Chains A and B, each alone.
Chain A
Amino acid sequence: MRHIAWNWFVASSLLLGALALEAETRPRYGGTLHVTMRAALTSLDPADGSQPDSFARRSVTALLFDTLVSVDESGHVKPALAESWQLARGNQRRQFRLRHGIRFHDGTPLTGEAAASSLRAANPSWVVISEGDSVIIECDSPDPAPLAELALSRNAIVKRDADNKLIGTGAFHVVDWQPGKKLSLAAEEEHWSGRPFLEGIEIEMGRSFRDQMTALELGKAELVEVAPEQTHRVSQAGHSLTSSAPTELLALLFTREASSPEGKLLREALGLSVERGSIRNVLLQGAGQPAASLLPTWISGYGFVFKAEADLPRARQLRDQVRTIPAWTIGYDGSDPLARLLAERVALNAKDAGLSLQPSASASSDVRLVRIPLAASDPWITLQELAAQSGLPAMKSKSGPTEDLYAAEQAELATGRLIPLFHLPASYTSSSGLRNWALRIDGSWDVANAWLESAKP
């Protein structure tokens, strides 16, 4: 009898333990997620070209607005606002059927015309028409861009009211917006993909990486960014680190075209003089991938073909072919300590090759150290967006086989405007109380299904 009672006690304990464990891992509704970011967004408009693209902007845009289609972790296009689409005339005519019952945050229904109007505003060169609940995009070019282009943030569907206020269909709507400082969001109860677990999100902007880490350690933030050079240290400190694939290009961007063949030789010499390996080991603390190509290998598949190792003899040889060596200035973001170190190191390497490069935090410079987030959806779109952001010549083709993509990338590199240095990942760390958040393929964070352990059920 006593044995039976003991068995019952053990079985009951195991059952209660299992139930308690299940209760702990079960998503909970409620709670406000605190996020910090270094970028100081001044506009929430996805189509605002005056603001630089960034992972932070992509993340915020994805919270407020939806696109017709989205790209999953594998790079496949999947439905979003559009539940289906039809391609006709060799992809020159694309008709998207919108989901039924989707409403903007102000309660107005999403119509074909509203979606078409939003896409026309973001892409003035497109021919976009509406037809009932459908949106039709027509293209005269026999070589239209891949469908994934519609998944880019700038193509998010936005409605502008009489006050030019932006209204989206995203999982969260704006409660308080202090441009460049703070953004408060609240969950949208009637979102077409279901109500998010989080009650709200508060995003603090313009915070340095150190401040973000401090906020995390003090419990004032649950999700913070991590600088590439800090990933190793953060990981060693026991924080959970989440990094994307290398989706950001760190490169040297010349402000002007090379005016002569000799200028191109010097730019090539500069690219060959940079010790990407030692910079990665020391300054980036092992983060990122040395790059001599515009697209990372995981996107293009051939990135390894471009040799990223420094070749100082060759650099000197090229430099010796030029009579007059100009004194270049290399500009960098003065608020980014890593950028200053990188610029100084590049200048030091360039000096070894006989080139003159003077670091400067001023806005005007001959060459600038830039960080360009990659679209990271389709290689053609990624290259196209990269060229557009860098001021490189527009690509002749927008799709095609890998050989054509390689040729297109080579053509862009041949201009000498852009010297790739590294492909960097987007890295974040979160508190243990934040569960089920994810990184998208483009480096932005996704909290649509995230929940907070500390939230009261």
Chain B
Amino acid sequence: MTFRRKLLAVFALTVFLSVAGVALLVQLVIRNAFEKTENQRTAALVAQFQREFDRRGDDVARRVEGIAVSEPVSRMATALSGTSADSAEYFDLARLMADNRQLDFLEFLDSRGTIISSAQWPAKFGYPDTTFEISASDDKGHFLKMEELQDSTALGLFAVRSIRVGEHPVYVIGGRRLDRNFLMALDLPADMRALLYQNRGDHFSADQLLDPASTGNAPDATHPADKFAPLVDAVRQYNQEITGIVPWSSDQADEEVFHAIPLRGVGKDHPLLGILLIGNSRRSYVELKRSIRNSALLVGGGGIVLAILLSSWASARVTRPIVQLARAAQDVAGGNWNASVEVEGHDEVGQLAESFNRMTTELLAQKERLVQTERVAAWRELARRLAHELKNPLFPLQLTVENLMRARSQSPEMFDEIFSESSRTLLAEISNLKAIIGRFSEFSKMPQPQLQRVQVNEVVSAVARLFQAQLQAPGREPIACRLELGEHVEPIAADPELLHRALSNLVLNAMDAMPKGGILALRTRRDDGKVVVEVADTGSGLTPEECERIFTPYYTSKQHGTGLGLAIVQSVISDHGGRISVHSEPGKGTTFVIELPRNLEALEAIGASKNAEVTEGNLSR
């Protein structure tokens, strides 16, 4: 990843995290505010229900009071206070009075708690009211009671009043049923609703749930009553108000928060008679949350896009000098020491660019000086070698000429014989001089490689075969030749003759380095798109100084070497775009490593130009 992209990523991440953090914070704040409002609404509703409950209770108490002081009931109480009282004729009075006073439950009880008349269960006359003692204890207010009916029980809001005529009081217990109508009469906000669970039996039963929204006894498929079971069971278990979320579907917007309020009856243990479930839809909250999240995502997304654009601009502005510096450095590394960067500003990057420019200028100057020095040294070496090479044949020439002159003056009879012999010597030395001059001339005339598709393994194998006889020649210690050719070495574009010549020079060098025999290894392998050829011997090896100068023309460590062999090898490899290096340790042998590019593109280019030439030729003809 480039520096610019890194910088861009850091900028974008920073902006994204900032936006996300702000959105999260806003969401948390809003959620807390919403929940607080929700709790306040629920508390208000609970308080409203309690007021409504009390109002209904007071209403029931007023109705019961009205019945208690009514003429028929007073007449009944008076009649029953006598010794020969017969309550039979009043058995239907409760039903009539309940109808008149719009009460769901009404019973008249005598002083022993025996039912005189019952509106809700007329046939129960003469039976004792099981809740008489509890009911009779509350003669002023209202209370909850689970009323037993013929085939069921019903939760109701009751009040009790007593009429005392004579010694024995008559009790009037009246009430209204807490049913769907009661729940529907509650004034609730649009997204809130109230349900009532009548606590009967040991386990949750969907039949005991009164839902004003449900029609008849048909179960509501979208709001199954079983969903309330955990909440109801929790209230029954802990006997306290509990708030819980009831999920109606996988959509969170369908969830409702229910506040479960236990409704207790009167008596010693205050039995749990019912559970009021006040529900509040979470739809508005969830939709608000989703809206905030979507806004946050939108703002965040927009912010990120903006951040990317701004960051891109900023990073481009910041990194442009650095990119220029990097490119200039790459140019320098590639050999272009003239590279320089534009200096903008005087900040650290500007100073860096200025320093870079100074550095490249200094390097260029030093390179010039080094080249000059090397050129002088090369000329000196060339002169030395040339003097040395020329001095060797010149000295016999001088001696021969002096010998001729001496023979003419001192031994004319032997002059012819000496002349003949000296002429042969002179010619031989002159020939030697020609050879020296020819070799120098040949080095200066190294031909350009004629590229073609070459299997390196084949070239190496051919070299090995060529020298096989010399390696095992009699009169010298044998040298074992090992061919270690890579299996997947691909063909390259090269001049096979020059390559053969270069490898032959290296093999000759190796043979010279192993006068006492040894092992010559020729290896090929593929390495990162290149073909590598190694020529290794187990000879005497080279010193580090020799390794440094071994490719310098006319440098040799041999007695009779011209110092051009390895220079030619380097020239050939260099002309192929390759690279040669040497690894050696004294006493352990030397390894030359040649790295050759495949360079098949150049081969295709040559082929294309040839085709073009052929086409042009055909056209011209």
- Is the CB of A232 closer than 8 A to any CB of chain B? yes
A283 to B121, CA, bound (A): 13
Known contacts: A358-B151, A359-B151. The answer to whether A282 contacts B126 by CB under 8 A is yes
**Contact between chains at A285 and B151 (CB < 8 Å):** no
**Chain B nearest Cβ from A217, distance in angstroms:** 18
Check A344 for interface membership: any CB of B closer than 8 A: yes
Interface residues of A in 220-273 (CB under 8 A from B): 232
Contacts A348-B127, A359-B151 hold; do A232 and B89 have CB atoms under 8 A apart? Answer: yes
Residue numbers of A with Cβ under 8 A of B are 232, 275, 278, 281-283, 285-286, 341-342, 344-345, 347-348, 358-359
Can you list 22 A-B contacts (CB < 8 A)? Answer: A232-B89, A278-B126, A281-B86, A281-B88, A282-B88, A282-B125, A282-B126, A283-B123, A285-B88, A286-B88, A341-B122, A342-B123, A344-B121, A344-B122, A344-B123, A344-B124, A344-B150, A347-B123, A347-B150, A348-B124, A348-B127, A359-B150
CA of A282 to CA of B116 in the docked complex: distance in angstroms? 10
Residues of A within 8 Å of B125, CB to CB, are 278, 282
The 5 A-B pairs at the shortest CB distance, nearest first, are namely: A344-B123, A345-B123, A281-B88, A282-B88, A282-B91
Q: How far apart sit A156 and B333, CA to CA, in the bound complex (Å)?
A: 139
What is the distance, in angstroms, from A391's C-beta to the closest C-beta of chain B? 27
Q: Report chain B residues within 8 Å CB of A232.
A: 89
A283 touches B150 (CB 8 A): no
In angstroms, Cα B89 to Cα A232, docked, is: 9
A286 to B88, CA, bound (A): 9
Minimum Cβ distance to chain A for residue B84 (Å): 13
Q: Which residues on A sit within 8 Å (CB–CB) of B122?
A: 341, 344
List chain B residues, Cβ under 8 A from A281. Answer: 86, 88
Q: What is the CB-to-nearest-CB distance from A442 to chain B, in angstroms, rounded to a whole number? A: 30
Which residues 64-123 in B have Cβ within 8 Å of A in the complex? 86-89, 91, 121-123
A341 touches B88 (CB 8 A): no
Q: A344 to B149, alpha carbons, bound, how many Å?
A: 11
**Interface of A, helix, strand, loop or mixed by DSSP:** helix
Residue of A nearest to B89 (CB): A285
Which chain A positions have C-beta within 8 A of B151?
A: 358-359
Q: A358-B151, A359-B150, A359-B151 are in contact. Are A341 and B123 (CB under 8 A)?
A: yes
Point out the residues of chain B lying under 8 angstroms from A358, CB to CB: 151
Q: Which residues of B contact A359 (CB under 8 A)?
A: 150-151
Contacts A285-B88, A286-B88, A344-B123 given; 17 further ones with Cβ under 8 A?
A232-B89, A278-B125, A278-B126, A281-B86, A282-B87, A282-B91, A282-B125, A283-B91, A283-B123, A341-B122, A344-B121, A344-B122, A344-B150, A347-B150, A348-B124, A358-B151, A359-B151
Give the CA-CA distance A347 to B150 in the complex, in Å: 9
Smallest CB gap from A275: residue in B:
B126
* Complex-state Cα separation, A71 to B86, whole angstroms: 40
Q: How long is the Cα–Cα vector from A232 to B127 in the complex, in angstroms?
A: 24
A348 touching B123 in the complex, CB below 8 Å, given contacts A359-B150, A359-B151:
yes
Contacts of B126 in A (CB 8 A): 275, 278, 282
* Distance of A88 Cα from B86 Cα, bound (Å): 58
Q: How far is the CA of A104 from the CA of B87 in the complex (A)?
A: 55
In angstroms, Cα B124 to Cα A397, docked, is: 43
Instruction: Please provide the chain B residues from 144 to 160 with a CB less than 8 Å away from any CB of chain A in the complex.
Output: 150-151
* Contact pattern, B 253-282, Cβ under 8 Å of A = 1, otherwise 0: 000000000000000000000000000000
Bound Cα distance from A144 to B502, whole angstroms:
153
Within the complex, what minimum Cβ distance (angstroms) separates B121 from chain A? 7
Contacts of A282 in B (CB 8 A): 87-88, 91, 125-126
Most buried by A among B122, B123, B126: B123
B87 contacts which chain A residues (CB < 8 A)? 282
B118 to chain A, nearest CB (A): 10
Q: How long is the Cα–Cα vector from A283 to B151 in the complex, in angstroms?
A: 20
The docked-state distance in angstroms from the alpha carbon of A342 to that of B125 is 12
Q: Which residues of A contact B88 (CB under 8 A)?
A: 281-282, 285-286
CA distance A344 to B124 in the complex (A): 8
| B residues in contact with A285, CB < 8 Å | 88-89
**B86: which A residues are within 8 A, CB to CB?**
281
Distance of A275 Cα from B125 Cα, bound (Å): 12
What is the CB-to-nearest-CB distance from B268 to chain A, in angstroms, rounded to a whole number?
A: 26
Q: In angstroms, how far is the closest chain A Cβ from the Cβ of B405?
A: 161
Bound CA–CA A286/B89 (angstroms): 9
Distance of A347 Cα from B124 Cα, bound (Å): 10
In the complex, the chain B residue whose C-beta lies closest to that of A279 is B123
Q: Mark B387-428, 1 if CB is under 8 A from A, else 0.
A: 000000000000000000000000000000000000000000
**Which chain B residues border A344 with CB–CB below 8 Å?**
121-124, 150
Assembled-state Cα–Cα distance A285/B127 (Å) = 18
Q: Which residue of chain A is the closest to B126 with respect to CB atoms?
A: A278
Task: Tell me which of A281, A347, A359 has the highest count of chain B C-beta atoms within 10 A of its own C-beta.
Answer: A281
Please, how many angstroms separate the alpha-carbon atoms of A281 and B87 in the complex?
9
Q: When chains A and B are docked, how far (Å) is the Cα of A315 from the Cα of B144? A: 36
Complex CA–CA separation, A348 to B118 (angstroms): 14
Q: CA of A275 to CA of B87 in the docked complex: distance in angstroms?
A: 16
Q: In the docked arrangement, what's the CA distance between A232 and B122, Å?
A: 19
CB distance from A276 to the nearest CB of B (A): 13
On chain A, the residues within 8 Å of B127 by CB distance are 348
Q: Complex: how many Å from CA A282 to CA B89?
A: 7
A275 to B150, CA, bound (A): 18
| In the complex, chain A residues whose CB is within 8 Å of the CB of B121 | 344
A268 to chain B, nearest CB (A): 22
Give chain A residues whose Cβ lies under 8 Å from the Cβ of B123: 283, 341-342, 344-345, 347-348
CB closest chain-A residue, reference B124: A348
Give the residue among A278, A282, A341, A359 with the most B Cβ atoms within 10 A.
A282
- For B91, the closest partner residue in chain A by CB is A282
Identify the closest chain A residue to B127 (Cβ).
Answer: A348
Query: With the chains together, A283 CA to B123 CA distance in Å?
Result: 8
Q: For B91, what are the chain A residues with a Cβ–Cβ distance below 8 Å?
A: 282-283
Which residue of chain B has its CB nearest to the CB of A343?
B123
A342 to B122 CA separation, bound complex (whole angstroms): 10
A280's nearest neighbour on chain B, judged by CB, is: B88
Complex CA gap A283/B89 in Å reads 9
A411 to B127, CA, bound (A): 35
For the complex, what is the distance from the CA of A359 to the CA of B89, rounded to whole Å? 24
Query: What is the bound-complex CA distance between A46 and B228, given in angstroms?
Result: 62
A250 → chain B closest CB, angstroms: 15
B441-460 at interface with A (beta carbon < 8 Å): none
> In the complex, which residue of chain A has the Cβ closest to the Cβ of B90?
A282
Q: In the assembly, what is the distance between CA of A336 and CA of B7, in Å?
A: 94
Minimal beta-carbon separation of A336 from chain B (angstroms): 14
Q: How far is the CA of A278 from the CA of B115 in the complex (A)?
A: 13
Q: How far is the CA of A333 from the CA of B331 in the complex (A)?
A: 114
State the CA gap A342–B123 with chains docked (Å). Answer: 7
Report how far A36 CA is from B145 CA in the complex, Å.
Answer: 45
Chain A residues with CB under 8 Å of B124's CB are: 344, 348
- Chain A residue with minimal CB distance to B125? A282
Chain A, residue nearest B117 (CB):
A282
Which residues on B sit within 8 Å (CB–CB) of A348?
123-124, 127
CA distance A342 to B150 in the complex (A): 13
Q: Which residue of B lies closest to A359 (CB)?
A: B150
Complex CA distance for A358 and B150, rounded to whole angstroms: 9
Chain B min CB distance to A342 (Å): 8
Return the chain B residue nearest A278 by Cβ: B126
Residues of chain B contacted by A345 (CB below 8 angstroms): 123
How far is the CB of A357 from the nearest CB of chain B, in Å?
Answer: 11
Question: Which of chain B's residues have a CB closer than 8 A to the CB of A275?
Answer: 126
A347 to chain B minimum Cβ distance, whole angstroms, is: 8
- Chain A min CB distance to B91 (Å): 5
Q: Which chain B residues numbered 461 to 495 have a C-beta less than 8 Å away from chain A?
A: none
Q: How far is the CA of A275 from the CA of B88 in the complex (A)?
A: 14
Smallest distance from the beta carbon of A84 to chain B beta carbons, Å? 52
Query: In the assembly, what is the distance between CA of A303 and CA of B419, in Å?
Result: 192
Q: Which of B88, B121, B127 has the most CB of A within 10 A?
A: B88
